[in-house]
Amino acid sequence: MTTSISSVAKSIKTLKTPQILQLGLQSTWVMSILLMILSIAGVQVQRQAVQTIGKDAAPSILDAQRINDSLADLDANVANELIAKPGKNPAAVKAYGERQEKLSKLLVGAAENITYGDAERLPIQTLQLQLGNYMMMVQQARDHHQRGDTNAMLAAYRSSAEAIDKTLLPTAAELDEVNWRELERIYAQQQKNGIGSIGLILVSGAGLVGVLVALQLFLNLRMRRRLNPFLLLATILAVGSMLDTTRIFLSTGHHLKVAKEDAFTSLHALRQGRAIAYIANAAESRYLLDKAFVVTNEETFFKKVDLIAKLPSGMTYDQLLSAVKSGQLPPGFTGFMADELKNITFQGERDAAVNTLDMFGRYLAIDTQIRQLEKSGQHQAAVTLCIGTNPGQSNWAFEEFKKAHSKTMDINQAEFDRAIEASFNTLNGFEIKMPILIGAIALFTFLGLRPRMREYSL
CA 331, CA 293: separation in Å to the nearest integer?
34
> How big is the CA angle at 182 (ends 179 and 184), to the nearest 5 degrees?
110
Who wins on pLDDT, 29 or 117? Answer: 29
Percent of the chain scored above 70 by pLDDT?
Answer: 95
Q: To the nearest whole number, what is the mean pLDDT of the chain?
A: 89
Query: Of 180, 242, 253, whose CA–CA distance to 212 is shortest?
Result: 242
What Rg, from alpha-carbon coordinates, does the chain have?
33
Higher-confidence position of 423 and 11: 423
Please give the pLDDT value at position 24. 81
Sequence-distant (≥ 6) Cβ neighbours of residue 305 within 8 angstroms: 280, 364
Reply yes or no on whether the pLDDT at 9 is more than 50. no
Nearest of 321, 366, 316, 357 to residue 339 by alpha carbon: 357
List the Cα angle 73/406/328 in 5-degree steps. Answer: 115
Q: Output the pLDDT for position 224.
A: 63
Condensed to tens digits (0 to 9), the pLDDT of residues 297-323 reads: 999 999 999 999 999 988 998 899 999
Judge whether residue 389 has pLDDT over 80: yes
Residue spans per domain, the chain: 23-53+180-455
Q: Which of 79, 94, 101, 272 is nearest to 164 (CA)?
A: 79
Per-residue confidence (pLDDT) for residue 13, from 0 to 100: 55
Range 152-155, long-range pairs (CB < 8 A, 24+ positions): 153/82, 154/289, 154/290, 154/292
Per-residue pLDDT at 427 exceeds 90: yes
- The confidence score (pLDDT) of residue 8 equals 44
Q: Phi and psi for 228 in degrees, rounded to 5?
A: -105, 110
pTM: 0.84
Model pLDDT for residues 247-259, shown as the tens digit of each residue: 999 999 899 999 9
Confidence band, pLDDT 50/70/90 cuts, at residue 97:
very high
Q: How many angstroms separate the Cα of 45 from the Cα of each of 39, 189, 252, 345?
A: 10, 10, 11, 28
Task: Flag whether pLDDT at 292 surpasses 70.
Answer: yes
**What angle separates helix 394-427 from helix 229-257, to the nearest 10 degrees?**
170
The number of beta carbons lying within 10 Å of the beta carbon of residue 235 is: 23
Residue 457 predicted with pLDDT over 70: no
How far is the CA of 127 from the CAs of 173, 187, 220, 312, in angstroms?
A: 11, 28, 75, 37
At 1 the pLDDT is 46
Answer positive or negative: Cα dihedral of 262, 265, 271, 274.
negative
Q: Which of 46, 96, 409, 63 is nearest to 248 (CA)?
A: 46
Hey, which residues does 310 pair with through a beta bridge? 334
Predicted confidence (pLDDT) at residue 3 exceeds the cutoff of 70: no
Which pLDDT score is estimated for 15? 63
pLDDT at position 109 is 86
Q: How confident is the model at residue 409 (pLDDT cuts 50, 70, 90)?
A: very high
pLDDT of residue 222: 67
3-state SS assignment for residue 310: strand
List Cα–Cα distances, 340 to 262, 268, 391, in angstroms: 10, 9, 27
Task: Provide the pLDDT confidence category of residue 194 given band limits of 50, 70 and 90.
Answer: confident
Which of the four pLDDT bands, split at 50, 70 and 90, describes residue 456?
A: low
Question: What is the SS3 assignment for 334?
Answer: strand
